[in-house]
Amino acid sequence: MTMKTISQNKSFGGTQGVYSHESAETGCTMRFGVYLPPAAGKGPVPVLFWLSGLTCTEENFIVKAGAQRVAAELGIALVAPDTSPRGLDYPGDSDSYDFGVGAGFYVDAVKAPWSTGYRMYSYIAKELFELVAGGFSVEASRAGIFGHSMGGHGALTIGLKHPDRFKTISAFAPIVSPTRCPWGEKALAGYLGSDRNTWADYDATLLIKRHGWSGPELLVDQGGDDQFLASQLKPELLVAACAEAKVPLNLRMQPGYDHSYFFISSFIEDHLRHHAAHL
């Protein structure tokens, strides 16, 4: 698979790159960022996949999270893909911020026309994973996944379903149960249809109850002043699911923090060190 280099910048002794390729899963050009720490020049390093939230592109994490310094110290690579296909121009795909462009929700759509391109689940879990493993100095057997909001939902669901690929999971303010919140209900109905039974494969709380998790404890940070806390995020549902399934969870409520990258950048070092300790 051919990759095109969009940009490369020196950062903390390593390289922050942005790349593009033609995706078989989404049927369009996809962009993603890769930070390679200095250690990657000597041999393959562990790798973390970051999944961003609604309205984001690959750029948000690269520019705002402040992750490169600690990743350089720890010798861990960071991969930050886009959140949805772009340029497919499906009718209505840009009408709202929480469905369509910028809102792929990390599912494989089954409803037309979305089913032909909105396949972000398979894109992340299979195509991008294999592209990065084959094209960069990373050790694919030591991979973790984390994300924010919609991307936290994606990290949890993809990680839980692929423990063979992703050994560690963490999240910032994740949508823990999209089957039980307005953002999730809109997206899942639009991409998957009205049969709610088919939604369960993309709900972290239901996946935990069904399959459990045998890896290291799940690390989740949640801002106490997050404007979406009660209506969309509902971390108490994740607490209950993990307790029932005896899955170790470290949910940290952070007083005064909201849903922004100010929140993410404040605790990103903790997450990187959590993953690195197990990878």
| Residues tagged active-site | 149, 226, 259
* CA torsion angle 10 5 82 269 (round to 10): -20
Distance CA 216, CA 93 (A): 38
Residue 86 DSSP SS3 = coil
Residue 85 in tokens? 């296909």
CB-based contact 168:278 (threshold 8 Å): yes
Tokens 């307790």, located at residue: 243
- My answer on whether omega of the bond before 113 falls inside 30° of 0, hence cis, is yes
How many CB atoms neighbour CB 248 within 10 A?
12
Residue 134 in tokens? 């084959």
Q: What is residue 253's DSSP assignment?
A: E
